[in-house]
Amino acid sequence: MGAATSFEIQGRTVRLPVEVRKAWSASALYAVPAAAVEPLLPGDAFAPLELGGGQTQVVLTLVDYQDNDLDSYREIGVVFFVTPRGAGPDQAGSYIWRLPVDQAFTCEAGRAIWGFPKTVERIDYHESPDRIRGVLWMDGRVVLDLALPRGGAPTADATTSGFTYTWLHGAPHRTAMTTGGAAVLNPAGAPSSLELGDHPVADALRSLGLPTPPALVTWVPHMKGTFGAAEKL
């Protein structure tokens, strides 16, 4: 039996692929020890994608979905790059460790359809012409306060395809996805800041060696994309 292509969520039909027509995103990429990431991955299904010297990467991302099949909402993600255990780097994809959102519909849809670890939390965004700042609260406590630059000369508009891995119904799954939009790439040294609070999620980020200067900061002012069906590995 093939993967389902439609789902009933809160009395609404969600058809796949889900389309993101308009959003912005800001993200920071950090080099961290692969051994520190291992305990945060589910079971033995995935392994950190090693980049040499025992290092892997984690991305903290701020997204504001404005026109999307799952409604408009804010989202903050903590993303690792992984491969299925035993697979080669050609099977590399993203594994979303935490994915707080600020709306209930997208939370339920994301969990039910793909196994995304969405939870409904307080997310504050503060925008200025040259900076985006996102503050995540959980259980009434600050988890992280991330400020990233925006603006600059974007790359050419392009669409890329890849995979995101999740844990769904007790098993690892893979979802094909596309992302597009002209990006502004700010290399190491771009003005940014990360402060971690006193929540357990913040402590887990500290276990990776954060906060530390990011290796790359990316600003995508007009993001688009699609998410297909989750397929069991």
Give pLDDT tens digits for 170-224. Answer: 999 999 999 999 999 886 666 899 999 999 999 999 999 999 999 999 999 999 9
Which residues of the chain have a pLDDT value below 70?
A: 1-3, 187-190
pLDDT of residue 1: 45
Domains of the chain and any CATH numbers: 20-232 (2.40.400.10)
pLDDT of residue 105: 98
> What does the mean pLDDT of the chain come to?
94
Residues 75 and 100 sit within 8 Å (Cβ to Cβ)? yes
DSSP of 97-149: EEEEES-HHHHHHHHHHH---EEE-EEEEEEETTEEEEEEEETTEEEEEEEEE
Q: Scan for tokens 């998410």, then name that residue.
A: 227
Question: pTM of the full predicted structure?
Answer: 0.94
Indicate left, alpha or beta for 192 from its phi (over 0: left) and psi (-120 to 50: alpha): beta
pLDDT of residue 2: 54
